[in-house]
Amino acid sequence: MIKVYCEDYDGSFDAVCAAAFKILGLNGEAAVDLEFFDESGMAALNKEFRGKDKPTDVLSFPMLGGIKEFSRKNYPLNTMETGEVMLGSIAICPSIAEKEANEANLTINAELCLLFTHGLLHLLGFDHMTRQDGRQMRKLESLILGKAGEK
């Protein structure tokens, strides 16, 4: 299972985590650090880590090089005191998500779940650097969101 660590977390991404865990055939206990930023905070992160001086909707910061069973044995340096393997951090900008939701005629919750899923897939080693990789990520996002009841 994947646990989300976030101040005042309301459980809104638990179904996404469970769906991703099942669809991707993951094993063990993992965790994600989640933080919400305003547009100026996201712009600062985007500039620092990607060299782009503008806000963005989601950023992810993976901590693992490859994905094996999540256990202290496989990831001794990334295992938290509670036993979960820390996958990394996801940063989301709700105000940008709201604009994107309106443009796509989605609910804000559906857009936030999409952004979280996208970030989670990056933490798990997926990317969209090529067209084929992008198609694979979009397909996985759709499968995960469908199973989580968000599509």
Domains identified in the chain, total number:
1
Q: pLDDT tens digit string along 63-82?
A: 988 788 898 888 988 888 88
What is the CATH classification number for the domain harbouring 117?
3.40.390.30
pTM of the entire structure? 0.92
Q: Would you state the pLDDT for residue 147?
A: 93
**Number of Cβ atoms within 10 Å of the Cβ of 29:** 18
Q: Percent of the chain at pLDDT above 90?
A: 74
What is the pLDDT averaged over residues 21-28?
A: 92
Q: Which domain holds residue 130?
A: 2-147
Does the pLDDT of residue 151 top 80, yes or no?
no
Q: 148: helix, coil or strand?
A: coil
Given this model, what pLDDT does residue 84 score? 92
Arithmetic mean of pLDDT, 49-60: 94
Across all residues in the chain, what is the average pLDDT? 92
Find the helix packing angle between 131-147 and 14-23, rounded to 10°: 120
CA distance 30 to 21: 10
